[in-house]
Amino acid sequence: MAYSGSTEVRAYSAAYACAFFIEQKFGAPSAYVPPDLDPEGGPRVPLQSLKLHAELAGIGARSFAGDILLHPEFGFMYYASVFTELELPADQPMADNPCPAPSCVSMYRSIGRTPCMKFCPAQCLEGEVDEQGRQKKSRYDMALCAELTQEYETVPKMLAEAVRDEVRSRGAEGLLDPDRKMLWYKVSAGSGAWFAQCFECMRVCPLATQAPQADVISRTEPVRAAAIASQTKKD
């Protein structure tokens, strides 16, 4: 299942509800797949790769941006999975990978890098585009990306410092210190949990930003137009 919206939490909620729905309506045992709760591997390790589930289901293909899955119609999405014994026809992986987009191929031909590679502040993305404009090689340095973006260990330390501060106003100021603004930005712009990403690779990605269903205003345009038409009819 894929969710195009603000946070992955909605996708998880929908998958949880879907598992109940399948059991109640079809009587087939179903279970929601927890995304990042492996009791032995730790909180960053999923029980199964939701990315692989989504790739096999054809709702995204691996991009140059650290293997983030992208879809030509929806751009960047969040994924959730359900295991079920209900017999369903299997989907197929996407026949064509939309990454790199044509404008990214042009940039690569010109400067040897695509937008995500060029603007990643950690410079952790590398890759090659072949003669046909397809991915030939891709390299993602996850440790560099994580060093820049996944600073959740910093947050409890910062809160502890603020609480310990003898002068409470200084503690609050500590939380709002200009040097810490980027951390709050990354947390709020990230996944909704402490797994913040800087998302520069997606901010400059034409698929993530310009896919028809990626923009909340353009994707809700038909609904608004239908509501206006219905109101006009009533008037």
Site of interaction with ligand SF4 (CB under 6 A): 63-66, 99-101, 104, 114-116, 120-122, 124-125, 145, 148-149, 197-201, 204-207
Q: CA dist 103 to 108, 154, 219, 224, Å? A: 9, 37, 22, 31
- Smallest distance, Å, CB 106 to ligand SF4? 10
- Smallest distance, Å, CB 225 to ligand SF4? 29
CA distance 154 to 177: 14
Pick 23 or 126: Cβ nearer ligand SF4: 126
CA distance 76 to 197: 13
- Smallest distance, Å, CB 202 to ligand SF4? 7
- Smallest distance, Å, CB 11 to ligand SF4? 19
Bridge partners (DSSP) listed for residue 2: 79
Pick 13 or 213: Cβ nearer ligand SF4: 213
CA distance 141 to 152: 19
- Smallest distance, Å, CB 150 to ligand SF4? 9
- Smallest distance, Å, CB 207 to ligand SF4? 4
Pick 54 or 124: Cβ nearer ligand SF4: 124
Bridge partners (DSSP) listed for residue 47: none
Pick 30 or 197: Cβ nearer ligand SF4: 197
> What's the CA dihedral at 166, 171, 177, 179 to 10 degrees?
70
Environment class of residue 224 by beta-carbon count within 10 Å: exposed (0-12), middle (13-18) or buried (19+)? exposed
135: left (phi over 0), alpha (psi -120 to 50) or beta: beta
Pick 15 or 101: Cβ nearer ligand SF4: 101
